[in-house]
Amino acid sequence: MAKELVFGHQNPDTDAIVAAISYAYLQKQLGPDVEAVALGDPNEETAYVLKHFETEAPRVIKTAANEVKQVMLVDHNEPQQSVSDIADVEVSHVVDHHRINNFNTANPLFYRAEPVGCTSTILWEMYDEHEIAIPTKIAGLMLSAIISDTLLLKSPTTTEKDRQAVVALAKIAGVDYQSYGLDMLKAGTNLDSKTEAE
Amino acid sequence: MAKELVFGHQNPDTDAIVAAISYAYLQKQLGPDVEAVALGDPNEETAYVLKHFETEAPRVIKTAANEVKQVMLVDHNEPQQSVSDIADVEVSHVVDHHRINNFNTANPLFYRAEPVGCTSTILWEMYDEHEIAIPTKIAGLMLSAIISDTLLLKSPTTTEKDRQAVVALAKIAGVDYQSYGLDMLKAGTNLDSKTEAE
Ligand SMILES: [Mn+2]
Ligand SMILES: [Mn+2]
Ligand SMILES: [Mn+2]
Ligand SMILES: [Mn+2]
């Protein structure tokens, strides 16, 4: 099987970066040769998360067709939110929690969407369906993405499944999700590192 | 939860009719109030299948918005293949094995697609994920849909997962899928019942 790239949307948030990492890990266990990449650098919140769970930021790409024929999308489906040359590659897999918009394919594909608060919640479910154990660091990353997307389970998009995922992932990662979550959200709004102009 | 209708495409084939019946059964076990309906009468093959597994043909609808606010689509996603007033209802769930085309939503939804030979193969997997037992008659219907869509596992769209589903479903239904499959496919091309003009 030819290599594929896995990535989230432009101007990546924590879910976009982390879902690429965790879906790439899951796919690798199932067989496919994949690499998690990103369409931009981590924001401050995501940088805090990656540092906390000792994970390197994914390589940033500007285009995909120069490297691969097929790609896997996480946390988005709309072409205008995706890699600049999305029209020149085939989308083989999508895992997302947004509405479907302007997403058309020439061939059948794997598409998994659920109306939950975070892509990482769906991925948590998929690890379970495939009976693949989630490594400690990846569980911490996925937990962080759900905390980020749901504002610590307080956003109106939060579902019962997001709550279950947070509890289960916090256990694997070995963190108190309430106190860690507050620190993490604070890091994302860190005024110290902003310039005067902001 | 308000009632929803579950249906396959216009000019229904066996998968379109049967996937509506089996997805409606699965959803009912999970909670939602749903009814399997169809956008047309069963063809000769499907009529043979329904008779063999002692199941009534789903009620035929012309429009959906007069009955429900939300619908679940199986075995299709393209609006032009769906109910005439699809634009007037919200699609809450899709289970399909076709390419995605002209399918846009205003809100997040549940969408499950896989590049396999038949929608009923994906549903077989979903029963397993939810640990819901498949009733004998529904297993027979799902087996028939896979035989129909894959021409007894011989079409180029056939995957390993379709093969596994056929073996598992034949066991639950208690039929020899080779001999039953040939009889079923023969029933679908029954020349006797065609008029002279055809
Ligand atoms: Mn996002
Ligand atoms: Mn997200
Ligand atoms: Mn069909
Ligand atoms: Mn089909």
Chain A residue closest in CA terms to B131: A129
Q: Within 13 Å, how many C-alpha atoms sit on residue A22's CB side? A: 38
List of chain A residues whose C-beta atoms are within 8 Å of the C-beta of residue B93: none
Tell me which long-range contacts B174-180 makes (C-beta under 8 A, separation of at least 24).
B174/B136, B175/B140, B175/B143, B177/B143, B177/B147, B177/B152, B178/B152, B180/B52, B180/B143, B180/B147
How distant, in Å, are the alpha carbons of A99, B78, B105 from that of B87?
A: 15, 11, 10
In the annotated binding site of B, the residues are: 9, 13, 15, 75, 97, 149
Q: How far away, in angstroms, is A9 Cα from ligand 1 center?
A: 7
What span, in angstroms and rounded, lies between the C-alpha atoms of B4 and B15? 20
Q: How far is B53 from chain A (nearest CA, A)?
A: 30
In the annotated binding site of A, the residues are: 9, 13, 15, 75, 97, 149
H or E segment at B171?
A: helix B160-173
Residue A71: exposure state from Cβ atoms within 10 A (0-12, 13-18, ≥19): buried
Length of chain B: 198
Could you identify the residue written with the tokens 């809100």? Answer: B107
**pTM for this entry:** 0.95
Find the CB nearest A104 among B100, B111, B115. B100
Percent of chain A scoring above 70 in pLDDT:
95
Cβ atoms of B177 and B153 within 8 Å: the answer is: no
pLDDT tens for A138-161 read 999 999 999 999 999 999 999 999
pLDDT tens for B137-166 read 999 999 999 999 999 999 999 999 999 999
Interface predicted TM-score (ipTM) of this complex, two decimals: 0.94
H or E segment at A110?
A: strand A110-113
3-state helix, strand, coil in chain A (%, to 5): 40, 15, 45
List of chain B residues whose C-beta atoms are within 8 Å of the C-beta of residue A101: 104-105
Output the tens digit of pLDDT for each of chain B's 198 residues.
799 999 999 999 999 999 999 999 999 999 999 999 999 999 999 999 999 999 999 999 999 999 999 999 999 999 999 999 999 999 999 999 999 999 999 999 999 999 999 999 999 999 999 999 999 999 999 999 999 999 999 999 999 999 999 999 999 999 999 999 999 999 998 655 544 444
List of chain B residues whose C-beta atoms are within 8 Å of the C-beta of residue A31: none
Residues 6+ apart with CB under 8 A from B61: B5, B7, B37, B38, B39, B67, B83
Which of A112, A82, A63 is closest to A10 using CA atoms? A82
Backbone φ and ψ for B53, nearest 5 degrees, come out as -105, 25
Q: How far is A52 from chain B (nearest CA, A)?
A: 31
Cβ atoms of A169 and A124 within 8 Å: the answer is: yes
